[in-house]
Amino acid sequence: MELSRILKRMGFSEKTYSEVIVTLLLDNFVNSAPIGVLLLDDMLFSRVFKGSRTYELLRKGAKEGTICVTHDPRLFYYSIIRKEKLKYIFIKGINTPCLSGCNGYVYFKVVKYNDLGDYLAVYMKPLSVYLRKSIPKTYNRASYAIIEALVYYSKIPYTTPKKICKYVEAIKHCVDIVYHSSRSRTYRAIARDILKRALSLVETRKAST
């Protein structure tokens, strides 16, 4: 099976950013950090923001790395806050260290990046995929934000006026997440509809008091 088909089955998409952890190697220095990745035809794309270690490594010449696929929130937490707790393994056919405990790994080479001021637009060529078990699914913020928005929406009819304002603001935040992490018209339409219905519920409750 060609790599692009495997990546699609893993959840990589041209419209929705998959939340993964990237590991870069440069001169024996290894760094792991969460990034969002799109699949554009046979290339992977990411925006790497200025000020991050990933940004600095790319600017200094890092040319290859590993995308680590996991749903374990601890690994995302460790890769940002507690890097000393990260453990690495080496896998045959992958030249860079792989983050231990992940479901799958995508070995890539950096083809190019465009410096757009606040961030680098990075294009990566996937070279191989290693799966620990079955094909793993990547995490994306959009689908989880929609679920979170629905949870807040379902609470509005049964809570206090003070909490209603808090829940509406939380839903607005979820909508922002959907728009920033996905170009899917379906996801965006669902998010807008949840917010619209939430605001309508608020008005209904105001009218009844």
Counting the structural domains of the chain, the total is 2
Examine the domain organization and report whether 12 and 90 are in the same domain: yes
According to DSSP, residue 101 is labeled T
| Domain extent for 172 | 141-208
**pLDDT for position 209:** 66
Q: What is the pTM of this model?
A: 0.79
Question: Which two structure tokens, joined as six digits, stand for 34?
Answer: 């969460």
The secondary element (H helix, E strand) that includes residue 15 is: none
> From CA 25, how far away is CA 4, in angstroms rounded?
24
Q: Which of 84, 101, 131 lies at the terminal end of a domain, its last residue?
A: 131
Q: Are residues 107 and 16 in the same domain?
A: yes
Q: 3-class SS at 139?
A: strand
Q: What is the mean pLDDT of residues 47-51?
A: 91
Burial class (CB in 10 A: 0-12, 13-18, 19+), 114: exposed
CA-wise closest residue to 39 among 144, 130, 125, 133: 125
Among 70, 97, 131, the domain boundary falls at: 131
List, for residues 62-81, the tens digit of each pLDDT value.
Answer: 999 999 999 888 899 899 98
Q: Is residue 16 part of a domain?
A: yes
Question: Does one domain contain both 152 and 93?
Answer: no
What does the pLDDT average to over 89-98? 92
Q: If pLDDT is split at 50, 70 and 90, which confidence band does 21 have? A: very high
Question: Do 167 and 108 sit in the same domain of this protein?
Answer: no
Q: Are 41 and 108 part of one and the same domain?
A: yes
